[in-house]
Structure 1
């Protein structure tokens, strides 16, 4: 039995929903294990895709076990979609969650760069599909003028995006400031309010 505080409301909103979770490189990948588990426990159909950098922090097998589905990491992976896998996944989902969303991944989104499985899928997601983006990076990277410009462009180019975080606090790089990825429960709450 799931006694998590979000479980009762989440069951009503996430049952049968198709959620695509995109991990990009960052130490906060470990928090996404809890996020995926919470989504699955509340009856969402969850698929996970990861950048190569993300796989250096948490292995794809972890997310395959948590989601119950194969994890996509390469444009050359094959799946069950009759279209190219990146197009099939982009059309399949009711919601996309990018967590952690690195400075690099956000820059790729706003500049239309599709050089990995994750960035290619993100570019192919239909404009009516909602996205939840949870930025995570070093405080200095977050405060960099280029990152702040990219965040403004993200909001302008993707009106379907809901941002959650980043939070202020201690970071793995021993810095304190904004850039910490929001907690999984806050991301789930944003998913619920988005759907």
Structure 2
């Protein structure tokens, strides 16, 4: 499937791009999609890192009304045939998706992806998209990791860069019992609160 932003955007709609990364909190992705799509004039696309697919079933997101993109979708032309089949001007998925998005949610943002964002690494579809993203696109990062990973001294530096240099809005994490059994700060912001951020910013109305 070829994604071309100008064909996928719908006038008057809010286009939400959800990025899921390698945290167990990715299990909330279907709930976020389903709840957002209860509102009028909302379109949603999901970019999932490979590790995040451990935690949710793509079919559940599809049934909720979303569409999931993965690394293999990025350069499918080259992978399925010869490089000579790719022509200058052909659509590139991470560029088309960033042109499409009105708002980007990185929910959850694992310690690994947080580090990649802070260092400008773009080695998968999600981080390539973020590196190509316009600075005017509202982007929210919702950290989710083990408490000791969150308390690691590098994490505070990564968060500083993401907020002060890259200018993304960081929300959370929150304290609660974690999936690993530890109790402490590091859990992703509650999924309903993530939805509410989009609802409030774009003044969405329930159907």
Report the TM-score range of the alignment, normalised by the length of the smaller protein.
Answer: 0.7 to 0.9
2-side partners of 1:127 and 1:173: how far apart?
A: 35
Q: Is the 8 A contact 2:108 2:144 kept in 1?
A: yes
Q: Aligned match of 1:19 in 16, 19, 24?
A: 16
Deviating beyond 4 angstroms after TM superposition, the runs of 4 or more aligned structure 1 residues are none
Structure 1 residue 77: Cα displacement = 4.7
Does residue 106 (structure 1) correspond to residue 105 (structure 2)? The answer is: no
Does residue 148 (structure 1) correspond to residue 145 (structure 2)? The answer is: no
> TM-score normalized by structure 2?
0.80
Structure 1 residue 64: Cα displacement = 2.1
- Please give the residue correspondences for 1:156-195 in structure 2 after superposition, counting only pairs within 5 Å: 156-159=164-167, 161-195=168-202
1-side partners of 2:90 and 2:44: how far apart?
A: 19
Structure 1 residue 82: Cα displacement = 5.5
Greater Rg over alpha carbons, structure: 2
Q: Is there any run of 5+ residues in structure 1 with no aligned partner, and where?
A: 1-14
Task: Specify the alignment match of 1:45 in structure 2.
Answer: 43
Structure 1 residue 186: Cα displacement = 0.9
Structure 1 residue 39: Cα displacement = 1.0
1-side partners of 2:17 and 2:76: how far apart?
A: 16
Task: Specify the alignment match of 1:76 in structure 2.
Answer: 75
Task: Specify the alignment match of 1:5 in structure 2.
Answer: none
Structure 1 residue 97: Cα displacement = 0.4
C-alpha RMSD of the superposition:
1.7
User: SS at the partner of 2:37?
Assistant: helix
2-side partners of 1:194 and 1:105: how far apart?
A: 25
* Post-superposition CA distance 1:82-109 (Å, at most 9, x none): 6201100011100000101001111111
Task: Specify the alignment match of 1:59 in structure 2.
Answer: 57
